């Protein structure tokens, strides 16, 4: 499936925009609402058109604003997740209806002469321009623009302008719509990756007030008792007063009826402020929160200015330039733009798997944020990375209680959550993924290493390392063979579940234990406990198949029946077409697992071990997870397969732009976007960290002219410029300019400001691929897989 890359007439290749130049009503509309969404990490609004129709899945979201419910298990058991959590659609302000000379302008029914919809990466501004041929003979242009605030993170600014070529009668209504409580089809029944919807009413009105074109509204969620209020002010270019202002629990409107002279432009500015809170004091029926929203109102022009200023700053440090690759450059910038939209003003909070661009994965926080997003944040926005880790630290009380519930010590973080409680109802692919603990420890260690934040360890980092280490040493055990084993776990590959000694889990737990043991003077940690941590790490069981000379994904993976690779593409993703038990008993991967371990713990494996693992696992990895292609590409680059690396990277960079997993409608795959950053920086530039110094071993694709980017490293802005034959470094202005020591393919260099330090690069030969014995599935498998007899 392709979308953007296959139709460059409709979606021209613009370096700083994603633009749609023709209106083609089809199944892509919902996907484009995601691709054109805007947000700031706290507040997001999907890219549905403001004029001419309802859209497919329009909506507005606030990070962390959610409803809860009791999970009903058909067959319950002790320790199962009990509290479901789901992000809520907050009342949506991006809605207008426009009638000209009695004709309601409609994308479905009106005559459209010209059309443009775009989102601008350089400014963060969404714009939709439509030229209408009205039945009255008038030609009318509508332009809808919107942006979110950054200094004022709860603010949304919308501007609607209408121009006619002759005098017309106009009827314009601006609406606030509660989309959460609208009847919709339940999509999660057919696809567990999609968000569910509540059957009962969620947003209970607390305060509804409107007069003279201004609205002050507040609601409370029925079960979680979170509150949201919004203040809305309108300002128009003429003297007209609103014809009417109507308020209601599910729709509030302000309406104008007026004439537009030929050649004149009517302009309407809609300033919106959202404020959220936990349940307020009993005497506040929403008035106080609505007043707080009113006090936070910012003019539309100021909101647009905030957005422009933010992206001017952002691109100064975050841009990645691909020389001579215009289509990939646009796609890379779109992904980097999404990363800012998902994280910039999130505050002390997790990052939802879809950011604030949609309701997919229920708005939950996963391990994705630590492994796929925190590298990007650590090196482009260290303060943002610290706040994500602070949000994990705030979850420690719940994590300790969850650990006790599962009979382990320390802290056990939830696999998926918003409020700190486990929300994954399927433990085999949820709670059994204990490796989230090491993901958090790894991200904390990386942040401290890369940032030089001297206060982080005492405030946050040490607690995360210690509590997760305690969990690991109590979860595992020393076996009769003298090795330390961790049983009954699921690794990143969810097509193999509840196994013994998953290699990724064990390798990352080993890192976690060693990092905790290296802490000095942490209160409550004695030398005996440190010794046990060191022994567990040093004796960690790492499954290895001596016959194939490759690390096994777990103790039994090499004994599984191979998957039938003649399975038609229509049967993928496998999770939508096969019972989990069918998948579990076969040698097939949803996503990189062992290969990911070798990327993250790069110093623990030899080049030969990495190559053989890649050669073995890459062909049996379906890529059914959007988290896979980026990692496969990074390791392909490291082992020397540059063409394979570029193929995986290209697949990853267009995952949402081409809707290749057929679920972009539910929001941007933010972790995959983070993986794009890592693919460029860690893959093609070969950056590795947490060693003695920052290390580079580049593998630029053969037909690329160059790659350049910036990293914030220990208070310095490190500029990197990679070409086919050399890599250069310098320190940027506005940051610490003390020399920075780096390593390029084992050679130490000192980088200073004011001049470039350039290191020549020898060509890296393409290695001969490993050869493994062929395996074939049993004859009976196609019957199981297809249901045919």
Q: Known catalytic residues? A: 494
Alpha-carbon span 422 to 544, nearest angstrom: 33
Strand partners, 168: 260
Please spell the DSSP secondary structure of 429-475, one letter per residue.
Answer: GTTT-TTHHHHHHHHHHHHHHHH--TTHIIIIIHHHHHHHHHHHHHH
Distance, in Å, from the CA atom of 685 to the CA atom of 693, rounded to the nearest integer, reads 15
Rg (CA), the chain: 27
Q: Are 372 and 675 in contact (CB under 8 A)?
A: yes
Q: Rounded distance, CA 591 to CA 623, Å? A: 5
Strands 561-562 and 586-587: parallel
Helix (H, G, I), strand (E, B) or coil at 23: coil
Which among 453, 425, 554, 475 is positioned nearest to 72, based on CA atoms?
425
Sign of torsion, CA 45 49 51 57?
negative
Q: Are 604 and 508 in contact (CB under 8 A)?
A: no
**Whole-angstrom distance, CA of residue 544 vs CA of residue 546:** 6
On whether the CB atoms of residues 701 and 646 are closer than 8 A, the answer is yes
Place of tokens 């590795």: 688
Taking CA atoms, 593 is separated from 123, 293, 577, in Å, by: 38, 46, 22
Assess contact for 696 and 723: CB atoms under 8 A: no
Cα-based distances in Å from 705 to 238, 326, 503, 678, 727: 54, 12, 38, 19, 12
In contact, 267 and 234? CB cutoff 8 Å: no
d(CA 297, CA 612): 59
Contact between 686 and 634 (Cβ < 8 Å): no
DSSP state of 679: I
DSSP 102: T
Is the CB of residue 41 less than 8 Å from the CB of residue 345? yes
């Amino acid at each position: 499936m392709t979308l953007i890359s296959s139709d460059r007439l409709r979606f021209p290749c613009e370096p700083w925009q994603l633009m749609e130049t023709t209106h083609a009503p089809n199944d892509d509309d919902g996907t484009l609402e995601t691709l054109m969404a805007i947000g700031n990490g706290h507040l997001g609004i999907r890219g549905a058109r403001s004029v001419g129709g309802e859209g497919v899945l329009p909506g507005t979201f606030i990070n962390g604003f959610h409803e809860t419910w009791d999970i009903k298990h058909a067959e319950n058991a002790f320790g199962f997740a009990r509290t479901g959590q789901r992000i809520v659609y907050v009342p949506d302000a991006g809605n207008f209806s426009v009638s000209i000379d009695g004709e309601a302008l409609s994308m479905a029914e009106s005559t459209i002469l010209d059309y443009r919809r775009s989102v601008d990466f350089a400014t963060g501004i969404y714009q939709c321009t439509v030229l209408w041929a009205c039945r009255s003979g008038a030609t009318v242009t509508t332009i809808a623009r919107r942006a979110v605030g950054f200094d004022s993170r709860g603010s949304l600014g919308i501007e609607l302008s209408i121009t006619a070529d002759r005098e017309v009668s106009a009827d314009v209504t601006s609406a606030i719509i509660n989309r959460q409580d609208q009847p919709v089809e339940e999509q999660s029944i057919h696809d567990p990756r999609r968000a569910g919807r509540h059957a009962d009413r969620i947003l209970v009105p607390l305060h509804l007030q409107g007069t003279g074109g201004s609205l002050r509204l507040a609601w409370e969620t029925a079960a979680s008792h979170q509150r949201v209020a919004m203040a809305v002010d309108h300002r128009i270019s003429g003297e007209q007063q609103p014809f009417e202002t109507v308020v209601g629990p599910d729709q509030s409107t302000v309406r104008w009826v007026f004439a537009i002279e030929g050649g004149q432009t009517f302009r309407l500015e809609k300033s919106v402020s959202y404020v959220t809170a936990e349940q307020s004091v009993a005497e506040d029926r929403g008035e106080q929160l609505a007043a707080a929203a009113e006090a936070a109102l910012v003019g539309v022009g100021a909101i647009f200015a905030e957005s422009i200023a933010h992206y001017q700053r952002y691109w100064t440090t975050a841009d990645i330039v691909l020389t001579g690759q215009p289509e990939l450059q646009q796609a890379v910038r779109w992904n980097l733009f999404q990363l800012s939209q998902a994280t910039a003003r999130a505050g002390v909070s997790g990052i939802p798997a879809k950011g604030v661009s949609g309701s997919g994965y229920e708005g939950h926080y996963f391990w994705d944020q630590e492994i796929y997003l925190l590298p990007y944040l650590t090196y482009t926005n260290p303060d943002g990375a610290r706040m994500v880790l602070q949000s994990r630290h705030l979850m420690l009380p719940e994590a300790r209680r969850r650990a006790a519930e599962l009979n382990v010590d320390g802290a056990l973080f939830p696999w998926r959550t918003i409020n700190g409680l486990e929300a994954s109802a399927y433990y085999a692919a949820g709670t059994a993924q204990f490796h989230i603990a090491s993901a958090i420890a790894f991200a904390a260690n990386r942040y401290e290493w890369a940032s030089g934040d001297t206060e982080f360890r005492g405030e946050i980092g040490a607690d995360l390392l210690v509590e997760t280490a305690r969990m690991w040493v109590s979860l595992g055990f020393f076996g009769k063979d003298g090795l330390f084993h961790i049983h009954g776990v699921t690794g990143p590959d969810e097509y193999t579940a509840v196994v013994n000694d998953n290699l990724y889990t064990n390798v990352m737990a080993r890192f976690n234990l060693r990092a905790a043991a290296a802490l000095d003077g942490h209160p409550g940690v004695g030398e005996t406990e440190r010794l046990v941590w060191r022994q567990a790490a040093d004796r960690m069981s790492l499954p290895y198949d001596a016959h194939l000379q490759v690390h096994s994904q777990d103790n039994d993976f090499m004994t599984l029946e191979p998957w039938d690779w003649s399975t038609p593409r229509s049967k993928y993703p496998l999770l939508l077409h096969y019972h989990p038990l069918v998948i579990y008993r076969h040698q097939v991967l949803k996503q990189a697992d062992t290969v990911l371990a070798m990327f993250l713990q790069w110093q623990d494996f030899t080049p030969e071990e990495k190559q053989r693992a890649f050669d073995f696992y890459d062909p049996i990895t379906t890529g059914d997870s959007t988290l896979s292609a980026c990692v496969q590409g990074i390791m392909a680059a490291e082992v020397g397969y540059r063409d394979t690396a570029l193929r995986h990277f290209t697949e990853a960079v267009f995952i949402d732009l081409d809707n290749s997993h057929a679920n972009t409608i539910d929001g941007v795959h933010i972790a995959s976007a983070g993986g794009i950053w890592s693919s460029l920086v860690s893959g093609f530039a070969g950056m590795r960290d947490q060693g003695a110094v920052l290390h580079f071993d580049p593998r630029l694709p053969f037909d690329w002219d160059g790659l350049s980017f910036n990293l914030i490293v220990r208070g310095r802005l490190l500029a990197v410029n990679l070409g086919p034959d050399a890599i250069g470094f310098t320190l940027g202005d506005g940051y610490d300019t003390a020399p920075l020591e780096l390593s390029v393919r084992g050679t130490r260099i000192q980088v200073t400001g004011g001049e470039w330090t350039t290191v020549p690069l020898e060509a890296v030969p393409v290695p001969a691929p490993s050869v493994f014995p062929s395996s074939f599935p049993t004859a009976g498998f196609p019957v199981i897989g297809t249901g045919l007899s």
